[in-house]
Amino acid sequence: MDYTIADNALKDKVILVTGAGDGIGKQAAISYAEQGATVILLGRTVKKLEATYDAIEAAGFAQPAIVPLDMKGATKQNYIDMVETIEGQFGRLDGVLHSASQLGVISPFEQIDEETYDELMQVNVKAQFLMTQAVLPLLRKSDDASLIFTSSTVGHSGRAFWGTYAMSKFATEGMMQVLADELSDTSVRVNAVNPGATRTGMRAKAYPAEDAMTLKTPLDIMPLYLYLMAPESKSVNGQCIDAQPKR
Ligand SMILES: NC(=O)c1ccc[n+]([C@@H]2O[C@H](COP(=O)([O-])OP(=O)(O)OC[C@H]3O[C@@H](n4cnc5c(N)ncnc54)[C@H](OP(=O)(O)O)[C@@H]3O)[C@@H](O)[C@H]2O)c1
């Protein structure tokens, strides 16, 4: 996407980013902070979250917060408590980027084991559902709120061997569409991003033989992530947008 955000366009906004310790989520958190947002870094590996925190602090951006949470085991109450803490500490929430996801195993459909299926659906779908339910009351209080889910090319066109991951991304797009329709008359817009092939750990796991240097970096795809949090996208709702439409 060809978009340049105005300097400091996210000033005073509070944005929660899941999967903020690595890959696209890490870069998005830094990029949002660079434009003035206070970012809340959610993920399961504290060391990685601390590295994102340190990068934001070293750059002199607004002080972030860390929420260490394994979405595999997190309960509805955990998310409710998290939102209470966010409201108590920051008084508001203007954006959520759901970037955390697991890839699982690329395998023939008949070999998908139940445990892998359950774990992926838990992290990629149910955890996002529970977290979204919990954050919505606070998002509704913002006059310009943006909720972003993360899909994939296999989230709207099934592909052999992508099994549970693909199914979880179809569910993610479904959740986004249902919610966008329900919230169409509110100040909360709901969209999804399809990042396209991006140089991260997840991509390397899915395509171990690929030359990663041929891929776009998380920084390269940030214009779309910034656009969807910025005021210019206020009327965009219910869309799944490709960060790399020509790929
Ligand atoms: N990269 C691509 O080419 C590509 C293409 C299409 C879609 N996507 C989507 O883009 C999003 C970001 O992917 P990425 O490539 O940046 O992946 P990544 O580098 O593997 O990052 C994923 C992040 O999610 C976190 N996470 C995983 N399981 C979690 C759990 N149970 N609880 C809390 N956090 C958890 C990871 O934490 P840890 O670091 O602690 O493991 C990590 O920080 C995902 O939704 C992915 O499906 C990526």
How far is ligand 1, taken at its centre, from the CA of residue 108, in Å? 22
Q: What is the dihedral of CA 79, 169, 238, 35, to 10 degrees?
A: 60
Residue 113's pLDDT is 94
Residue 187's pLDDT is 98
Provide the β-strand partners of residue 43.
68
Tell me the best of 18, 22, 173 to mutate to test the pocket of ligand 1, counting ligand atoms within 8 Å of each CB and taking the most.
22
Residue 247's pLDDT is 64
Residue 142's pLDDT is 98
Tell me the best of 18, 96, 99 to mutate to test the pocket of ligand 1, counting ligand atoms within 8 Å of each CB and taking the most.
99
Contact 158, 166 (CB under 8 A): yes
* DSSP letter string, 71-91: TTT--HHHHHHHHHHHHHHHS
How far is ligand 1, taken at its centre, from the CA of residue 58, in Å? 24
Tens of pLDDT, residue by residue over 3-32, are 899 899 999 999 999 999 999 999 999 999
User: Is 90 exceeded by the pLDDT of residue 1?
Assistant: no
Tell me the best of 17, 24, 78, 214 to mutate to test the pocket of ligand 1, counting ligand atoms within 8 Å of each CB and taking the most.
24
Ligand 1 within 6 A of 70 CB? yes
Give the pLDDT band of residue 244 (cuts 50, 70, 90): very high
Residue 26 CA: which ligand 1 atom is closest?
43
From 165, 207, 225, 227, active-site residue: 165
117 is catalytic: no
Q: Cβ contacts of residue 4 below 8 Å, gap of 6+?
A: 223
DSSP-derived pairing of the beta strands 38-43 and 145-150: unpaired
DSSP 8-state assignment for residue 137: H
How far is ligand 1, taken at its centre, from the CA of residue 102, in Å? 6
User: Is 80 exceeded by the pLDDT of residue 228?
Assistant: yes
The model's pTM is 0.98
Q: CA distances (Å), 138 to each of 23, 95, 148, in order? A: 27, 10, 15
Q: 218-235: string of b/e by CB count within 10 Å (b at 16+)?
A: beebbbbbbbbbbeebee
Q: Dig out the tokens for 47 from the structure.
A: 């060391």
Instruction: Please report which residue ranges of the chain form alpha helices under DSSP H.
Output: 23-34, 46-58, 76-90, 114-121, 127-140, 163-182, 201-206, 222-229
Residue 211's pLDDT is 97
Ligand 1 within 6 A of 95 CB? no
Separation CA 167–CA 158 (nearest Å): 8
Q: Dig out the tokens for 66 from the structure.
A: 């860390």
* DSSP letter string, 86-132: HHHHHS---EEE-----------GGG--HHHHHHHHIIIIIHHHHHH
Q: CA distances (Å), 36 to each of 8, 113, 209, in order? A: 5, 44, 39
Ligand 1 within 6 A of 104 CB? no
Residue 246's pLDDT is 72
User: Is 90 exceeded by the pLDDT of residue 2?
Assistant: no
Tens of pLDDT, residue by residue over 158-208, are 999 999 999 999 999 999 999 999 999 999 999 999 999 999 999 999 999
Tens of pLDDT, residue by residue over 87-138, are 999 999 999 999 999 999 999 999 999 999 999 999 999 999 999 999 999 9
